Amino acid sequence: MKAGDISKLGYALLGLLQQQPSSGYALRKIFSSTAMTTYSDSPGAIYPALQRLEQQGLIRGSIEESSGLRRRQMFRLTPHGLAALKKWINRPLVRADVIRGLDEVMLRFAFSQQAVGATGAVNLLKSLLVELTSYIPELREQLTANKEAMPTSGRLALESGLRSYECLLDWTKYALATYVRQKKMRQERKGATAS
Amino acid sequence: MKAGDISKLGYALLGLLQQQPSSGYALRKIFSSTAMTTYSDSPGAIYPALQRLEQQGLIRGSIEESSGLRRRQMFRLTPHGLAALKKWINRPLVRADVIRGLDEVMLRFAFSQQAVGATGAVNLLKSLLVELTSYIPELREQLTANKEAMPTSGRLALESGLRSYECLLDWTKYALATYVRQKKMRQERKGATAS
DNA sequence: CGATACATGTAAGAAGTTACATGATTGT
DNA sequence: ACAATCATGTAACTTCTTACATGTATCG
């Protein structure tokens, strides 16, 4: 990672701060107690990451002296930070994102609605659909080509990878359908109030 | 990671070398061309990793001067290396492996049959089954509890995580069934030759 | 003769891990 | 008094990334 770049943890922090200004401690709690446990809640990772984001002008911390306990710093996104978050979410998906960075894609999607709206979320899903649709057949071919030469456990492990992509494809279609359904419901409501 | 420990990449190398002695270059090709693309094929990662493994006495390299091209070093597992590989594969699964280290679990399983036999592979699957069976309901609960407070994309992202675990559970059962089927076939063959 | 494949390596820098340090407040 | 929770931070260490360096052989 080059200087000036933002790490995955950095983006996770930006996304959370966009939803709600928080202290480093509160962010750590989110990482340790929710489904975001894939990210480290160690202070040695989070506080330096926050410092970097602040140096880059993406977040701004303000010390709260009032609250009685030890001094606490609340961080919030700057306009630059919001722009960086949007840019990250809207970045076009490429094959490499699907092969090596699926968790990051899901993180982008999780924050997409609040940061770039339903349209942006749907765009992300559509391009994920495209990538998966082209990648899965290739993977399947690789598997059928090599299956003879592998021990059972190796073949099964490969199959597990294939299945997880197929499962993700199902989810992508379901997620798209969910947005279509929501849009239809909004339109119906609008039609009802108009008549 | 403490000194003396082995990184994920290190274990991937040990596993591949157990299957077949190889040069650093050949290992890089495996990472760049097969489904193991999740691992970096950069020389800056692999050659230092091989040096570490050799210093730890887990692999041994021998220089081949003969083959005409630039000198090449073939690495093979030492008895110590094989023991470390087996220990890693047999390590009892814990919740954290399922939450943060599924790819490593799959890597262990992929190598399990050659390193610790079908029985070891089945043991790994069984304990994965146990962990998933206890984790999935908890995840599902978390989802239903929080779904009201989240934007659609956040909720869908969580659902994607849940679905992928459910998919993995299906695969685990399928993989176990595959081993049961194989065992039955071997026994039938034995019965046939005996009669 | 230049590109490509084979083949190995190092140097600089980024980011994460573990472990430690500090300090205030609240509950037992 | 002591533990637990809130709250922030640093230091040492490990590993990976990117980029560069080097060298041989083959093919067009």
Position of tokens 């993995």?
B168
Mutation target among B105, B140, B156, B182 for the A interface, most CBs of A within 10 A: B156
List strand D contacts in B 61-90 (CB < 7 A).
Answer: 68-70
The minimum CA-CA distance between A46 and chain B, rounded to whole Å, is 17
Residue A165: name the closest of B167, B81, B177, B179 by CA: B167
Task: Report how far apart, in Å, the C-alpha atoms of B136 and of each of A148, A172, B14, B128, B157 are.
Answer: 34, 20, 32, 12, 15
Three-class SS state of A5: coil
Q: Which two tokens stand for residue B44?
A: 């800056």
Residue B2 predicted with pLDDT over 60: no
Q: What is the pLDDT of residues B32-49, one digit of tens each?
A: 988 899 998 999 999 999
> Would you say residue B67 has pLDDT above 80?
no
Average pLDDT over residues B7-16: 97
- Note the pLDDT of residue A66: 62
Dihedral Cα B100, A132, A167, B98, nearest 10 deg: -10
pLDDT at A116: 97
Region A36-56 average pLDDT: 94
* Residue B35: CB less than 7 A from any atom in strand D: no
Residue type at B180? V
Identify the CA nearest to B75 among candidates B64, B90, B89, B91: B64
- pLDDT recorded at residue A190: 77
* Angle (nearest 5°) at CA B48 between B45 and B49: 75
Does at least one atom of strand D sit less than 7 Å from the CB of A145?
Answer: no
Is the CB of residue B45 inside 7 Å of nucleic acid strand D? yes
Mean pLDDT (whole number) for B105-117: 97
Range name among A21-30, A67-76, A129-138, A140-149 with the lowest pLDDT average: A67-76
Which is nearest to B160 in space by CA: A92, A171, A73? A171
Question: Are A181 and B152 spatial neighbours (Cβ–Cβ below 8 Å)?
Answer: no
Residues 21-60 of A with CB within 7 A of strand D: 23-26, 28-29, 43-44, 47-48, 50-51
| pLDDT given at position A4 | 62
B24, pLDDT greater than 80: yes
Please compute the mean of the pLDDT values over residues B144-150 and round it to a whole number: 88
pTM score, two decimals?
0.92
